[in-house]
Amino acid sequence: MEFQYLGHAAVLLCHSRGTLLIDPYETPAFDGQFRYRPITAQPDWVVATHAHSDHAAFGVVPAATVVEEGVAGPYEIARVALWHDEYDGRRRGGRVDALEIRVDGLRVVHLGDVGCAPPASAVARLRFADVLFLPVGGFYTIGAAQAWEWSERLCARTVVPIHYRTTACSLPIRGVEGFLAWAGEWKPWISGPFSVQTGLDRVVRIEPANA
């Protein structure tokens, strides 16, 4: 199984039996602060961690089947409820879900827009994934230090930072550098497909394909 990091929180999982898009965005948006290139992939299935427009723009992939949870081709999708902020969602828009996706004996976890400290129940459920997609930009989500706490608590084999400021996104969030400083050692990767089977590095910083 391979994946591509498209930008913001959008990730495309690629399998010989079909593709699954996580958290599609619409662009341009937010008065020009969000300028990622449009998503051109045509996935078989699409799923969102929560209903905000930069994560659940299902209209950009009209042919895809929207999945909440359960089985979609080779993917088995489950949800773990979290909060968008430290105030039970009252500041940033309620609940967000972590997605736990099983495929070919692998576990992929995507934390969406999580904005709270890691609750023990979520840690117990989500530990030891093969790949963890982790927001690191702050303001709307956890920032660098709290993202590293999530990373340490979940003990994923490979951690991929997402949802940070780039040349295509000038929202009031920070870049990836703060999180990488916490990580210390990390592997740079081009924006092309990344194989989960060979992704043995603790932290992999992947260039957004649509930046």
**pLDDT value at residue 157:** 93
Tell me the average pLDDT across 110-117.
94
Which region, left, alpha or beta, applies to residue 11 given φ > 0 means left and ψ of -120 to 50 means alpha?
beta
What whole-number percentage of the chain has pLDDT above 90? 85
The CATH number, out of the four listed (3.60.15.10, 3.40.1350.10, 3.40.30.10, 3.40.50.2000), of the domain defined by the range 2-206: 3.60.15.10
Q: Which residues pair with 10 in a beta bridge?
A: 7
Domain ranges for the chain: 2-206
User: In whole numbers, what is the pLDDT of the chain averaged over residues?
Assistant: 93
For residues 143 and 159, give the distance between their C-alpha atoms in angstroms, rounded to a whole number. 15
Contact 83, 38 (CB under 8 A): no
Taking residues 143-162, what's their average pLDDT? 96
Residue 113 corresponds to which amino acid? D
Pull the structure tokens for residue 13.
Answer: 């999982």
- Which stretch of 108-122, 145-159, 187-201 has the lowest confidence by average pLDDT? 187-201
Give the integer Cα–Cα distance in Å for 127 and 8: 23
**What's this model's pTM, rounded to 2 decimal places?**
0.95
How far apart, in whole angstroms, are the C-alpha atoms of residue 99 and residue 32? 29
pLDDT band (50, 70, 90) for residue 94: confident
Residue 89 confidence (pLDDT) above 90: no
Q: Is the pLDDT of residue 199 over 60?
A: no
Give the three-class secondary structure for 177.
helix
pLDDT band, residue 192 (cuts 50/70/90): confident
pLDDT at 191: 82
Mean of pLDDT values over 131-156: 96
